[in-house]
Structure 1
């Protein structure tokens, strides 16, 4: 008599009983359970927009490219195919402008070395249709296109060689900073390694310059209320509690700046760069509607996204801890009052 699962003998009666051993098929099944989630898109450096948000028609323009696809998520989409020819031209121009002179084959090999690591940055279901050759070709073309576009946009004289219409430039610039339209930074680094124009820290500096040029510009002159705000800020900065906050903020900024050396992609690099606060008030130089629509559309966008938010119990934990420490410090008596008066104490807590 044998076990139907593994064909191991099983004795009956007084005979010795043999415990069945798991088959190779079962071993594979158990192994798949233990490794489940290790390649999940939620852990990827370049994840897709969650399915829940993809169902919202009103926010699709916030992650779907308009004119050019970068990476596998929107590759070969019908409306984006016209820019594939431009990618080829930009790639040729990037290779020809390489200093010292290098062949397309040498640059392609540089990308091929990191292609496997780059593939792991994306959701697995989005790269299954690409074999190694096709994926490496896509990384090569997209990487050269991005770097050549940045080169053109950083130099007014060079920009005239782009032969692109202004609205196309604007859409490309928008598309380069969408979540589902990113390229692993290791691909850009591979293409910049031997180029004297991008070598060392030059490449990161040029990319940072490009990002800064996409930021809103602050107004040339301060308004009356800004002068008042600056005056109040200079006074509050002299308070011990405010100095502690400022010092902590500077320490966090230093850590943030040190992390700029190893970004995962272009969008992450942009997010790590601070925006000039005054730029938000520069209505003449910057208008949100250029990118997100009218004020009503922006409000509707955030309201719709907020429908699916869940509470975060650790949100603003640092702020709460700072308030608690201030409440207990030597400047307070433990009852919430302050040596500077109730008004100042309330202002500090707010």
Structure 2
């Protein structure tokens, strides 16, 4: 991977250098007798430096690109970024190990095109129908090519790239339509297409790899020409909901996504929270007072020991829906940390790692919402007992394996993350303030020692009853004739 990365950088620099040389030579052509003096190495470097300074710092939409080398070259993470069944788009196209996936894609693409409200001769499509739809994609190829980084499409001419996008776009929409049909009573289309269930499951993971994306603009184009745009949009909503385990649709209209991975990220995070006015002095520069990055608790078990209980967030399951409250709102014991429910299975690692890679793209201006959530979750999970308590609180569903496997997964994902320092800032400050209140810790410890089970509660009440009876008996022993004296 290192050599490949170095070669790609070298090629990019050399290509840019040739462009700079040509521009310098063209600029000097007007002087002298039309003689072109070759640009010196120093002139090329100076021109590259000037052009770099003139480039804009950010763009509106991130281009589809390879995973940043910091993640791709990590031996523990590389497995999360490579397709399992099918390559989608130009980056992994042509790899022999995805030959079966290519056959599946052609079947799905054919089924999608066959569903058009067009003239069909039996079970065979008219060649003109396919040529016509492909031609529409080819007309947009300049704009579609612009959705990718130049490096990943430079080896494909317009005709080859248009065909790749045509087949892959049709296959994606048909896969989603089969996986999440508009009606729940629809038959299993995958079995009718002779696609095995294991390939269906792995293909779902492949759809959300950063290097396996196609422009959402392509999907919208194909949906518009299909004659069933509303049904396909409904299928996409249902499909994303099944992947995120969210039962409700977003309440407000959101921007058009860049690709399916971007749509997944938006649905997981939910609508952006409203901005709060920052206090004039939110943190002291010389101490850790009210600094959300300065926390003395390490995991769920320590929070539990301090009297903080985990609760499942109400209303929705957006990852940003994390809050902290105290009983009755008056700061009394105990405290409650509200977390959105999360389901952990075999797809969790690839899904979150590709979302992290997407947020790390240099041209993607974002708030690192996924990275911040995973960093916060990693601060709660150290070992299997933390996962066990989260399961009991119904904020985590474990379909991966043992609780230790879940802990290991989040500890690995949380390595070297750089979260947004403003994310969950208020929650962290409230938790730390509560954690620093020692009498609450003592009260929590007393409750854990003496009221952790019904039997200890019964025993405690029994002791109180014995003490009360002993006190009454002592009273009558000390004042045996008090009632008789009153009568006299």
Partner of 1:76: 94
> Which residue is 1:346 aligned to?
none
Matched, 1:145 2:171: yes
Give 1:309's aligned residue: 417
Question: Residues 344 and 406 of structure 2 are in contact (CA less than 8 Å); yes or no, is this contact kept in structure 1?
Answer: no
Higher relative contact order (CA 8 A, sep 6+): 1
Note the C-alpha offset of 1:189.
1.3
1:277 maps to 2:317: yes
Alignment of 1:47-196 (within 5 A): 47-101=65-119, 103-155=129-181, 156-159=186-189, 160-196=191-227
Structure 2 unaligned spans of 5+ = 1-27, 120-127, 270-315, 320-338, 350-399, 431-439, 441-488
Cα 1:38–1:74 shift into 2, 3 Å: farther
Offset of residue 314 of structure 1:
4.7
Secondary structure, counterpart of 1:64 in structure 2? coil
Asked if the contact 2:86/2:101 (under 8 Å) is kept, the reply is yes
Distance of 2:420 and 2:178 partners within structure 1? 43
The 3-state SS of whatever aligns with 2:212 is: coil
Residue matched to 1:45? 63
Greater C-alpha Rg: 2
Normalised to the residue count of structure 2, the TM-score between the two structures is: 0.46
Deviation at 1:281, TM superposition (A): 9.0
Alignment partners' CA distance in 2, 1:58 and 1:48? 17
Aligned residues: 265
1:40–1:123 CA contact under 8 A, matched in 2 = no
Change (3 A) 1:174 1:307: closer
Aligned equivalents of 2:258 and 2:404: distance in 1? 33
Counterparts of 1:270 and 1:313 in 2: how far apart (Å)? 23
Larger relative strand fraction: 2
Q: Could you say which residue in structure 2 is the equivalent of 1:214?
A: 243
The offset of 1:104, in angstroms, is 0.8
**Inter-partner Cα distance in structure 2 for 1:290 and 1:135:** 29
Mapped partners of 1:39, 1:278: distance in 2: 30
Return the offset for 1:193: 1.2
Mapping of residues 213-292 of structure 1, within 5 Å: 213-216=242-245, 257-259=252-254, 261-274=255-268, 276-277=316-317, 287-289=344-346, 291-292=348-349
Q: 3-state SS of the aligned residue for 1:277? A: coil
- Mapped contact 2:173–2:232 kept (Cα < 8 A): no
Structure 1: unaligned runs, 5 residues or longer = 1-5, 10-21, 219-252, 324-342, 344-350
Coordinate RMSD, CA, aligned: 4.0
Show the counterpart of 1:204.
233
